[in-house]
Amino acid sequence: MHIAIIGAGPVGLWTAIQIKKRSPDAQVTLFERYEEYKRHHVVSIQRSSLFFGASPHHDEHDQRLFHEMLGYTRNQLRSRPMNRLFVPTSAIESSLKKCALALGCAIVVRHIASLDDICDLYPDVEQIVIANGAHSTLRKQLLGEDDVHSESLQYVVEMKTYVSEEVADSMETGMVARRIASRLKTMTFEYRGRPKAGRVGITLRFFVDKEGFDALGEASFKQPHIGINGLPEELAQDVRVYWTMHGLDEGMLETLSFSKLQLSVYHATRFADSYRGKPCFLVGDAAMGVPYFRALNSGWVMGSRLAHLIGMGAGSEKTVRRYNAYGKVHQSAEFALAKQKNGLLNRYADLRKLYRRLKVGGKQQREMVL
């Protein structure tokens, strides 16, 4: 059996490993458009997603993979009390790649523009796994125009800037920094990066309402809005407050970059279908997306499950049906979790508003009495 996996990202690679472990005789070929990976962000991994539904066969490949990728052996991980690990995607991808190659998977550097490329150029491929990320055009080819359902959960304006290490050291931290954030009208979370080449990245995420979000116009990650001029008034005010309370150089206000992002949940309208008689399965971001540090974790669990179903060798129609049924259950569970977390965030935002109203109201009353 020859299985093609399109996209050798973290989920494509994980799925390849799981398939090889469940079906050692299968020929697995991954197609990846880039020789070198472009992603460098750090992801939070939940221990359970490494084990849930994964192949129960442990061998030296597992031990090496876990140790290289996470710094712990599989057994150490199982017995550790912590559930979350923070790992750079580059470390994840290089360890997974090594493991996939050691298990006998092939990785071909090639951009697959259409499912026909696989059907025509690799006629011996019997099953296709689509793992080429959130913006998969292959998903559209498989499922048609109405390929995805999505729902926005939060509207976020992200501000990014860099300050020198010296300036970063002089900025307030801990409780004081939290108190500064609490002074802002908009619910805001601040992230400071690690020093790199003498600079520290600062990211502020402002959770705005839809009106404020739309008011900013086009501002994407690739083409951000520069400077605080033209920002919705409340947001501009918050940025100024943050800036002055941290004692930062006001001249920088006009160089800050702002981009918009929506935290949303989405899922493919089907998780598997046939294309030219070949069963095709969607995994990872190509299949669905959830926020709050779950997307990759969810992708791995799906990949493990798909490998299990393929390993059962029940015939393509049955496997497609079973994977679709499983996908629906998995998606409902992940969406419920995401919405629960989102609800907590909204409660926090409401409490914050109430607190501000009481505090400001109290202050005004005191001033009137005086």
Ligand X SMILES: Cc1cc2nc3c(=O)[nH]c(=O)nc-3n(C[C@H](O)[C@H](O)[C@H](O)COP(=O)(O)OP(=O)(O)OC[C@H]3O[C@@H](n4cnc5c(N)ncnc54)[C@H](O)[C@@H]3O)c2cc1C
Q: Which of 40, 41, 194, 222 binds ligand X (CB under 6 A)?
A: 41
- Neighbouring C-alpha atoms within 13 Å toward the C-beta of 134: 10
Neighbours of 127 (CB within 10 A): 22
Least distance in angstroms from the C-beta of 190 to ligand X: 15
Out of 5, 295, 309, 310, the only residue in the binding site for ligand X (CB under 6 A) is 295
What distance in Å separates the CA atoms of residue 331 and residue 289, rounded to the nearest whole number?
9
184-188 own/partner pairs: CB under 8 Å, 24+ apart: 184/238, 184/241, 184/242, 185/234, 185/237, 185/238, 185/356, 186/212, 186/234, 186/235, 186/238, 187/348, 187/349, 187/352, 188/238, 188/242
> What does the alpha-carbon distance between residue 158 and residue 190 come to, in Å, rounded to a whole number?
10
CB of 112 to ligand X, least distance (A): 4
**How many residues belong to the site for ligand X (CB under 6 A)?**
27
Contact flag: residue 133 with ligand X (CB under 6 A): yes
Q: Is residue 288 a contact point for ligand X (CB under 6 A)?
A: no
| Residue 261 binds ligand X (CB under 6 A) | no
Altogether, the residues listed in the chain come to a count of 370
Q: Which stretch binds ligand X (CB under 6 A): 161-169, 222-230, 296-304, 334-342?
A: 296-304
CB 367, min distance to ligand X, A: 44
> In this structure, how many other beta carbons lie within 10 angstroms of the beta carbon of residue 96?
23
Residue 299 as a binder of ligand X (CB under 6 A): the answer is: yes
Binding of ligand X by 303 (CB under 6 A): no
Interface pick for ligand X out of 285, 306, 327, 352 (rule CB under 6 A): 285
Measured from the CB of residue 275, what is the shortest distance to ligand X in angstroms?
14
**How far is residue 324 from each of residues 269, 301, 327, measured CA to CA in Å?**
10, 15, 5
Q: Which is nearer to ligand X, 37 or 243 (CB)?
A: 37
Q: Can residue 262 be called a binding residue for ligand X (CB under 6 A)?
A: no
Nearer to ligand X, 84 or 179 (CB): 84
112 binds ligand X (CB under 6 A): yes
Q: Is 6 exposed, middle or buried (0-12, 13-18, 19+ CB in 10 A)?
A: buried
**Which one among 7, 53, 232, 279 touches ligand X, defined by CB under 6 A?**
7
Nearer to ligand X, 32 or 147 (CB): 32
Q: Tell me which residue has tokens 């710094």.
A: 71
Q: Which of 27, 44, 73, 324 binds ligand X (CB under 6 A)?
A: 44
Residues contributing to the site for ligand X (CB under 6 A): 6-12, 31-34, 41, 43-44, 111-112, 131-133, 284-285, 293-297, 299
